[in-house]
């Protein structure tokens, strides 16, 4: 079973139970995981939006069904490389997107995102594989 990393936008769509059938089909049969960045972003949203106990319990149950890509030395080195190369190309990239891309690249895993334009530079120059998520 292959692994697909969920960008925060896809994870959020799943948590809000708004995943379309085409995307659900594309993700079926794969092990799903998120990066440490996505866990942080979802936690930030939980705090800002003051999730109640029911929503929090649902999040925790979902969170334990998906894997978590941690921060490690390989990810840090990959982040530095892609950030440095983007800077040299005159195309600095947002830090969180770079961390997510670095996690995928360090572990050689594809990323499922609705924001393909945000990750296109990583795909073109760094070899990031994007899983098809055109339809929401």
Q: What is the pLDDT of residue 134?
A: 55
Residue 100 has which token pair? 């997510």
Q: Identify whether the C-beta of residue 31 lies closer than 8 Å to the C-beta of residue 60.
A: no
CA 16 to chain centroid, in Å, comes to 16
Q: What is the pLDDT of residue 24?
A: 87
Q: What is the pLDDT of residue 133?
A: 61
Q: What is the pLDDT of residue 1?
A: 66
Q: Identify whether the C-beta of residue 106 lies closer than 8 Å to the C-beta of residue 74.
A: yes
Q: Does domain 3-131 have CATH number 3.40.50.1010?
A: yes
Q: What is the pLDDT of residue 132?
A: 67
Helices then strands, each counted (H, E), the chain: 7, 5
Q: What is the pLDDT along the chain (136 residues), one digit of tens a residue?
A: 699 999 999 999 999 889 888 888 889 999 999 999 999 999 999 999 998 999 999 999 999 999 999 899 999 999 999 999 999 999 989 999 999 999 999 999 999 999 999 999 999 999 999 986 654 4
Where along the chain do its domains lie? 3-131
């Amino acid at each position: 079973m292959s692994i697909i990393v969920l960008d925060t936008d896809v994870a959020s769509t799943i948590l809000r139970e708004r995943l379309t059938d085409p995307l659900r089909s594309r993700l079926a049969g794969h092990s799903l995981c998120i990066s440490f960045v996505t866990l942080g972003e979802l936690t930030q949203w939980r705090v800002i939006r003051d999730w109640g106990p029911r929503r929090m319990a649902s999040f925790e149950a979902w969170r334990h069904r998906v894997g978590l890509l941690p921060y490690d030395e390989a990810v840090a080195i990959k982040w530095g490389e892609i950030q440095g190369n983007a800077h040299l190309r005159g195309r600095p990239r947002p830090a969180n997107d770079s961390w997510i891309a670095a996690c995928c690249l360090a572990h050689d895993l594809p990323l499922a995102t609705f924001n393909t334009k945000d990750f296109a530079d990583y795909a073109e120059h760094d070899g990031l594989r994007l899983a098809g998520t055109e339809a929401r």
